[in-house]
A and B are shown apart, each in its own frame.
Chain A
Amino acid sequence: MFEKLEAYLEEISHFLSGREEREEILSEIKGHILEKAEQELSEVTETSLDKVIAAYGPARRVAEKYLDGHSIIAPAFKRHLFRYTSFLFAVHFLITAVAVIFTKSFLVFPFLLVPRMGVFDALFYLPTAFLYDLGLVTLILYFITRSKKEIKLPWPRFAVDLDEVKRPHRLIFSVLGLGAMLAGTGLTLYLYVRYHSIFFLNLDFPEPRLLFTPETGKWFSLAVIATFAVGAIALCVKFFTSSPWVDVIKNGICVIIVGMLFRLPLDNAFAFSPSARARLSIKYTLMVTLFFISIGFVVDFIKSLVLSGRKKLAKPWGG
C-alpha cells in the first residue's frame, strides 16, 4: 500500500482515538485522497499522494474538525479562573504563613493539608500550592461548564486587580533598571573579589571588618551577586523579547537562590563574637529579612506565572 497515506491516516486516527466512527471517517478520507490523486494528478503514486495529502491539511487540524470543540472551561468563565485561583491562593498563603510561624499543620478535610514546615520548605511548597489551587478551580469551572446551567458566578474585586495591572514598557525604565542591575552586579563582584565577602561590620576601607565567617559570607555574597546578575540578564533579554516567561524564569531562579540561603546554618555564621542575646537577635533579624525577600520573590514568581497564563488564554482560540 501507499506508506505515506497509511502514515497520514494513522496520525489522524491517533487524534480521533476514542471516537466510535473513527474507521468510517478514515475510510472516507482515504477514498477522497485516492480519488483526487487519480482524477487530478492522473495517477496514484507516492508523489501524487504527497501533494494531495499536503493540500488536505495537517493531520491534527483535520482531526480537530471532527471533534465537537467544546471548551473545557466556557469562555464566560475563563476570566474567573485566575481570579478565583488568586483568591484561593491568598487563603492558602495565609494558612501556610500561620503554619510556618506557629509550627502547626492545618487540615481542611478533604481539600487541604498544610503540613508543619520551615521557611525553606514553605518556599517550595507555595508554588506547588498555587498549582493545586489552579487545578482545583479549573476542575470546578469544568464541572460548571459541563452542567450547561445558566450559572452566574460572583466576581470578587481585590485592591489590586490583575486586569488593571499595567506593565511598564517605557524604554527609559528598562535602561535605568539595567544600569542599576549592572552597577549592582559590578560593585558586589568587585567587593567579593577584593574582600571575599560583600557584608561588612563597618566601612573602614580598605580594611573593613567582615560580618560573616568566610564560608557563610561566600554563599550570601554569591547569592546577592547572582540575583543582581540574573536581574541584569533578564532586563537585557527583555530588549529582544516581550515573552512573560523571561520573568517566570528570572523569578524562579531568584526563589531558588534565596531558598538555598535558608539552608545555611546561622548559629556560627558571624565573624565577630557578640553576646548570646545579640547573636540571637541578629540571627532572627537576618531570618526575617530573608523571609520577606523570599516572599517578595515567590509573589513575583507566581504573579509572572499568572500573567503568562493569562496571556495564553487571551489569545483567540483556533485563530
Chain B
Amino acid sequence: MNPEISNFETEMNRGFLSILVLALLEKDMYGYAMVRTIRDMGYEVDENTLYPLLRRLEKNGWIKSKWSVGKDRPRKFYAITDDGRALRAELLGIWKKQDEILKHIMEEKSHV
C-alpha cells in the first residue's frame, strides 16, 4: 500500500478502533478474542496497537479488567463501564455527524 495512504489509515483507525472496542466490550472479552472477532468481521487490527489502547481506556475508567486464571493459561478480560458507555454514545454521535457531512458533500458533488 502507498505509505501516504497507510499513514492516513493509521490516523483514521486510531479513533475507529476506540469506538470498535467500546462497542465490542458490551460483552466481557480478552485481547486475542477481540482480535479474532474483529478479523472475522473483515477488519484487520494491529495486535500491538490493541493492548496499549485497552490499557489507556482502562486508565481513564472507560473499561475495567480482571484476570481469569481458569483453563490452560491466564487471560485478562475486559468489560465496558458506565463512563465507557457514555463515551461511546458521544463518540458515535461525532462519528454519525462526520458521516452525514461527508455524505452530504458527496451527494452535492454528484448533482453538479
Is A28 a contact of B51 with CB atoms below 8 Å?
A: yes
Question: Which residues from chain A contact B70 at a C-beta distance below 8 Å?
Answer: none
**Interface flags, A8-42, vs B, CB<8A=1, else 0:** 00000000000001001101110110111001000
A56 within 8 A of B: yes
Task: Tell me the nearest residue of chain B to A52, going by C-beta.
Answer: B47
Task: Tell me the nearest residue of chain B to A62, going by C-beta.
Answer: B48
Kindly identify which residue among A32, A35, A61 contacts B51, using a CB–CB cutoff of 8 Å. Answer: A32
Is B32 a contact of A57 with CB atoms below 8 Å?
A: no
A274 within 8 A of B: no
Is B74 a contact of A56 with CB atoms below 8 Å?
A: no
Kindly identify which residue among B30, B31, B48, B73 contacts A61, using a CB–CB cutoff of 8 Å. Answer: B48
Is B52 a contact of A36 with CB atoms below 8 Å?
A: no
Is B47 a contact of A56 with CB atoms below 8 Å?
A: yes
User: Restricting to B38-75, which residues have a CB under 8 Å from any CB of A?
Assistant: 46-49, 51-52, 55, 73-75
B7 within 8 A of A: yes
A66 to B52 alpha-carbon distance, docked (Å): 5
Kindly identify which residue among B35, B48, B73, B74 contacts A65, using a CB–CB cutoff of 8 Å. Answer: B48
Is A31 a contact of B52 with CB atoms below 8 Å?
A: no
Is A35 a contact of B73 with CB atoms below 8 Å?
A: yes
A319 to B11 alpha-carbon distance, docked (Å): 12
Is A29 a contact of B51 with CB atoms below 8 Å?
A: yes
Task: Tell me the nearest residue of chain B to A55, going by C-beta.
Answer: B47
B96 within 8 A of A: no
Is B7 a contact of A319 with CB atoms below 8 Å?
A: yes
Nearest CB in chain A: distance from B11 CB, A: 11
User: Restricting to A105-126, which residues have a CB under 8 Å from any CB of B?
Assistant: none
A66 to B47 alpha-carbon distance, docked (Å): 13
B76 within 8 A of A: yes
Question: Which residues from chain B contact A36 at a C-beta distance below 8 Å?
Answer: 32, 47
Question: Which residues from chain B contact A29 at a C-beta distance below 8 Å?
Answer: 51
A62 to B52 alpha-carbon distance, docked (Å): 9
User: Restricting to B15-49, which residues have a CB under 8 Å from any CB of A?
Assistant: 30-32, 35-36, 46-49
Are A31 and B74 also in contact (CB < 8 A) when A36-B32, A56-B48, A319-B7 are? Answer: yes
Question: Which residues from chain B contact A61 at a C-beta distance below 8 Å?
Answer: 48
A93 to B74 alpha-carbon distance, docked (Å): 63
Nearest CB in chain B: distance from A34 CB, A: 6
Question: Which residues from chain B contact A66 at a C-beta distance below 8 Å?
Answer: 51-52, 55
User: Restricting to A44-65, which residues have a CB under 8 Å from any CB of B?
Assistant: 55-57, 61-62, 65
Nearest CB in chain B: distance from A303 CB, A: 32
- Listed by A's residue number, 21 A-B pairs whose Cβ atoms lie within 8 Å are A24-B76, A25-B51, A27-B74, A27-B76, A28-B76, A31-B31, A31-B73, A32-B31, A32-B35, A32-B47, A35-B32, A35-B73, A36-B47, A39-B32, A55-B47, A56-B48, A57-B48, A65-B51, A65-B52, A66-B51, A66-B52
Report which A residues bind B (CB closer than 8 A): 21, 24-25, 27-29, 31-32, 34-36, 39, 55-57, 61-62, 65-66, 319
Shortest 4 CB-CB contacts between residues of A and residues of B: A65-B52, A35-B32, A62-B48, A57-B48
